[in-house]
Amino acid sequence: MVKGQIVQSLSGYFDVLADQHIYRTRGRGNFRKKKETPYVGDWVEFKADNENEGYLLKILNRKNSLVRPPVANVDRAVIVTACREPNLSTNLLDRQLVALTKNKIKPMLYFSKADLLNEIEKNELHDLVQYYQKFYPCFVFDGTNTDKIRRDFLGAVTCEVIVVMGQTGAGKSTLLNLIAPELQLETAEVSKALSRGKHTTRKVTLRQIENNLIADTPGFSSFEISDVKKEELPLFYPDFVELQDNCKFRGCLHLKEPKCAVKQAYEAGKILASRYENYVQFQGEIAQRKPKYK
């Protein structure tokens, strides 16, 4: 029995890295019985007679996991958000930030395709980034700052599992090609009619880039917040957390309560309007969620 880390998952096969060798394995039926799904990033115990015929035996304890993308034991996540083609969605961005914060994963925000914006749109983007970077590391790619992005991205930390995630066509593979040109990942144009990109990445793979393991993941056009309780949601907004002690009621949900410091800040323009409005929408979705009975 050997211990290793899953670095790729595709069509029921799991490639496991152990002792600088890759072993192709399959999951045993006991995973289905236990309703367990191995994820890329999982540390596992497995048995293999050779590098092409192995079986997973056990998934070791995870420190966290994401469903979309399906990755485990993540240290840091880079959310790639297109400024244009597809159009920027703060709703999708905030959903991802909630999921990452809940799982204690450090987010980094990367805004791609800023070079496609006109001057008015660039000013609007500047204001948006100015707000988010109070709480999260932010990078804006305008087509000219490749070296700085590579330096900041790889020089910040080492020996971490990093997920590159975001909407389809936002430029995740393009970002990785900027950071590590030797990868030569496939990229695709965005459909002008639908403002959607093609799924050039169809599998989750951990790639060694300098000292980090970085996951290029399939894109998506929607993102659900699952297993978040209404009382938890405000705690996943650092801009709300820094104001919550000024609310009249402890455990304020920042919705209809009187003398709510978060609502007052929103009304005064101190909280980004889309940020608060997305929060209200998320609370509404949580309230409408059907209860799960075990």
Residue 171 labelled as part of a binding site? yes
Residue 112, marked binder: yes
Q: Is 113 labelled a binding residue?
A: yes
Q: Is 247 annotated as a binding residue?
A: yes
The answer to whether the beta carbons of residues 75 and 162 sit under 8 Å apart is yes
Q: Is residue 268 a known part of a binding site?
A: no
Q: Which segments within the chain are labelled E, that is strand? A: 2-10, 13-18, 21-27, 43-50, 53-59, 65-66, 71-72, 76-82, 106-112, 138-140, 161-166, 190-191, 196-197, 204-209, 212-216
170 annotated among ligand-binding-site residues: yes
Q: Give the list of residues 6+ apart from residue 110 with CB closer than 8 angstroms, or none.
A: 78, 79, 80, 81, 138, 139, 141, 149, 175
Cis status, amide bond into 86, omega within 30 of 0 = yes
SS3 at position 61: coil
Tell me if 122 is assigned to a ligand binding site: no
254 is in an annotated binding site: yes
Residue 173 assigned to a binding site:
yes
CB 43 within 8 A of CB 49: no
Q: Is 114 annotated as a binding residue?
A: yes
Report whether 172 belongs to an annotated binding site: yes
Q: Is residue 115 a known part of a binding site?
A: yes
Measured between alpha carbons, how far is 217 from 219 in angstroms, rounded to an integer?
A: 6
Distance separating alpha carbons of residues 203 and 83, to the nearest angstrom:
25
Q: Give the annotated binding-site residues for GTP.
A: 112-115, 166-174
Q: Give the annotated binding-site residues.
A: 112-115, 166-174, 247, 252, 254, 260
Q: Give the annotated binding-site residues for Zn(2+).
A: 247, 252, 254, 260
